Chains A and B, each alone.
Chain A
């Protein structure tokens, strides 16, 4: 072990012991010292659990499904697809600082891979595989598409990337609409749901439409895996490179960080997570067409990431619950309108407003790391004015 990796490791250990101050500084300041120290001790305890934390988080997430009952589990599963997607987008937007407005295009590519390669109603099947065996293919193809799109475009300035990805989403969707091999806008029906025979027994777990909670368990496994991988990445050399690029791209490049390559990693990880979510959606719903993946979904996943807290995996999950779960829950309760805003479509207006307000008042989102907040909040060189010579203005 070289000295530098050792230092890196030590830094990593130190960073993990978060405090309440990191997440909710306002709340932390208002709490009496005693309460704050108890909470911070709990944070410390949590951090010391190591890998066990992921198992506990998984068990907690999985247990949500049990008291709800199938119809609400469907809502949960739908939220789960997008929570998974939000985790991936968070790597792209939050960790690497790249604004991707066409993220759901990769979701779509993952889903269509499943549609084409399982025994579905698609007119052409390059391969016919079991739903489980398509999983790595869906992830890989989404990732490859991400790399193909990213290689030329990641050299562009950030705001151009936003518009290119937006265009890419539209190209993908329209192409799927026009191509006969994916049955155009009629889409692909009868995508088989996966099943699972417990080894050594004859018990078969069927992930069919009547057992949505089983699907939720599958999603929880994916979410926990993604959480684990992302956290490992964040603490790795790659993660620190992203941090450096986000803070100052020019400085990072001059320090010898391969900027485009690192951005490409983030893009590829995001795309593959999205592809995984697409696999889940296609096998669960069993039916996909181009309209299943509107541009709006890309924007809503972005809303989830931003509202939860840019750069925070936990935030992405909370954001997905607010953006995708909450409106469905309200509708389940029979609330279709709030102050004249339709719950389904009006939420987009409300989330849009929330995006603006958050950027102004709390750029890190509801749950955020101190470090990320500092970056978004100020110090950016591009459009800064007051930072230079505020005294001379007035």
Chain B
């Protein structure tokens, strides 16, 4: 009994100490934040995304691209102030992102944000950036609804799920020649609309649409239903872990068909299981390491020698986003004395009204912040490829042949 009482006391004291430490530390942090920036002249670019946690496999490569972009912009461009990166880790969760967005907009040197990475968190922080007048360019959030909020500071550096879905349908019918396709999805905010667009574009070629629960491992019921349609192809709208499970369990159940998925499945982990070999992944991204574009290959080499790993999915978009902001800063002719609001507005106007020749594509935005023209690439999963994939080419070109 005695022991338990002293344990209790110590635990209570420890908890109090923790709380006190957290509060005390909090105040200190506030002081440095308000006093920061003095002396040298810096411009800050913010980024929010999954740098750790479950989704870090998706967020990590984008962050690398962004870091590399800032490094390159400082080295190669003639900017009046030094660019710095303010990274905020949301772990990809929309409920964690708003405080981080607040932190960013409070920063007195913040000129623009490249991020967030996912659609949910973008929806959650959009109002904050919009109210503060900070332009935010997302490298990878593909939910089409985002551009319907009327945000003037929002720009999307990739094609939407809707655009991707249409091209995926074209690819399956015209390039692979499939005619009886089962469309599956993970019932997520990303996978379901993508699959729905694919199914509606396919029309009669879509046998049925089947949802599965990504939190579960067993998909035998869903695959049995698919098997019953006797399909020649399966499209899956969702992320790589579930696509891997479908490939494993589908081939085991005797579904010997062409498997196609979207950009959510374009992760190097896909090629780890032999059942994935040969499956097709479509992505509005030009994976520079396996690209047919030589400039991109060069970028991939430079990137790898600087960072230590090849640029992953949407790393190029992150890089392009930084370069685009840096170009806007350079063209605007701002210096350290320009008020920050003027720079933010200037960047917004520059990005909205100009055409920028990026590494992965040409960026030209319509009034909602969407790209006018998107290019979707087809990849084949291959353990031989540098990033676990081999690029087959642009869907529009493959279909035109």
Q: What residue in chain B is nearest A206 (Cβ atoms)?
A: B131
Whether A187 pairs with B29 at a CB distance below 8 angstroms is no
Q: Which of A70, A177, A362 contacts B4 (CB 8 A)?
A: A362
Q: Is there a chain B Cβ closer than 8 Å to A285's Cβ?
A: yes
**Complex interface bits, A353-369 against B, C-beta within 8 A gives 1, otherwise 0:** 00001000110001000
**CB contact under 8 A between A329 and B8, given known A75-B99, A208-B131:** no
- Of chain B, the residue at the smallest CB distance from A321 is B19
Cβ–Cβ contact A212 & B102, under 8 A: yes
Which residues of B132-154 are within 8 A (CB) of A? Answer: 132, 143, 145, 148-149
Cβ-neighbour of B22 out of A212, A289, A329 (below 8 A): A329
Stretch at the interface among A22-30, A139-147, A228-236: A22-30
Which of A50-58, A88-96, A178-186, A263-271 makes up part of the contact surface? Answer: A178-186
How far, in Å, is B231 (CB) from chain A's closest CB? 23
CB-contact partner of A342 in B52, B99, B145, under 8 A: B52
Those of B9-62 within 8 Å (CB) of chain A: 9, 11-12, 15, 18-19, 22-23, 25-27, 29-30, 33-34, 52-54
Task: Tell yes or no: B115 within 8 A of A by CB.
Answer: no
In the complex, are the beta carbons of B145 and A189 less than 8 A apart?
yes
The stretch of B88-96, B254-262, B321-329 that contacts the partner chain: B88-96
Checking B22, B33, B106, B124 against A287 with a beta-carbon cut-off of 8 angstroms, the contacting residue is B124
For chain B, the bracket of interface size reads 35 or more
Cβ of A68 under 8 Å from chain B: yes
Shortest beta-carbon distance, B36 to chain A, in Å? 13
A185's partner among B27, B53, B187 (CB-CB below 8 A) is: B187
Q: Are A24 and B98 in contact (CB under 8 A)?
A: no
The secondary-structure label for the interface of chain B is helix
- B296 part of interface (Cβ distance < 8 Å): no
Selected contact of A26 from candidates B8, B25, B143, B145, CB within 8 Å: B8
* A330 cross-chain contacts in B, Cβ below 8 A: 22
**Interchain CA distance A287-B8 in the complex, whole Å:** 41
A30 near B102 (CB under 8 angstroms)?
A: no
A121-B148, A184-B192, A336-B89 are contacts. A286–B127 as well, Cβ < 8 Å? yes
User: A366 contacts which of B12, B120, B193 (Cβ < 8 Å)?
Assistant: B12
Pair A361/B8 contact, Cβ less than 8 Å = yes
A102 CB, min distance to chain B CBs, angstroms: 16
Knowing A187-B123, A344-B53, A361-B4, say if A322 contacts B99 (CB, 8 Å).
Answer: no
The smallest beta-carbon distance between A251 and chain B, in angstroms, is 28
> B220 on the interface (CB 8 Å rule)?
no
Question: A-side binding surface: helix, strand, loop or mixed?
Answer: helix
Give A69 to B34 CA distance when docked, in angstroms: 10
Q: Is the CB of A292 within 8 A of B95?
A: yes
**B228 interfacial by beta-carbon distance below 8 Å:** no
CB-CB under 8 A for A332 and B102, given A186-B145, A344-B91: no
A65 to chain B, nearest CB (A): 12
A342–B213 Cα gap in the complex (Å)? 27
* Residues in A whose Cβ lies below 8 Å from that of B127: 208-209, 286
Instruction: Enumerate 30 A-B pairs (CB-CB under 8 Å) in ascending A order.
Output: A24-B12, A26-B5, A26-B9, A71-B99, A78-B98, A121-B145, A185-B187, A186-B192, A187-B189, A190-B149, A208-B131, A209-B98, A209-B101, A209-B102, A209-B127, A209-B128, A212-B102, A285-B95, A286-B124, A287-B94, A322-B15, A329-B22, A329-B23, A329-B26, A332-B26, A336-B52, A342-B52, A344-B96, A361-B11, A366-B12
Q: Which residues of A contact B (CB under 8 A)?
A: 24-27, 29-30, 67-75, 78, 121, 174, 177-178, 184-187, 189-190, 208-210, 212, 285-287, 289, 291-292, 321-322, 325-326, 328-333, 336, 342, 344-345, 357, 361-362, 366
Chain B residues close to A by CB (< 8 Å): 4-9, 11-12, 15, 18-19, 22-23, 25-27, 29-30, 33-34, 52-54, 89, 91, 94-96, 98-103, 105-106, 120, 123-124, 127-128, 131-132, 143, 145, 148-149, 187-189, 192-193, 211, 213
Other A-B contacts than A26-B9, A121-B148, A328-B99, 8 sampled, CB-CB below 8 A, are A26-B5, A69-B34, A209-B102, A285-B124, A292-B94, A328-B96, A345-B53, A345-B54
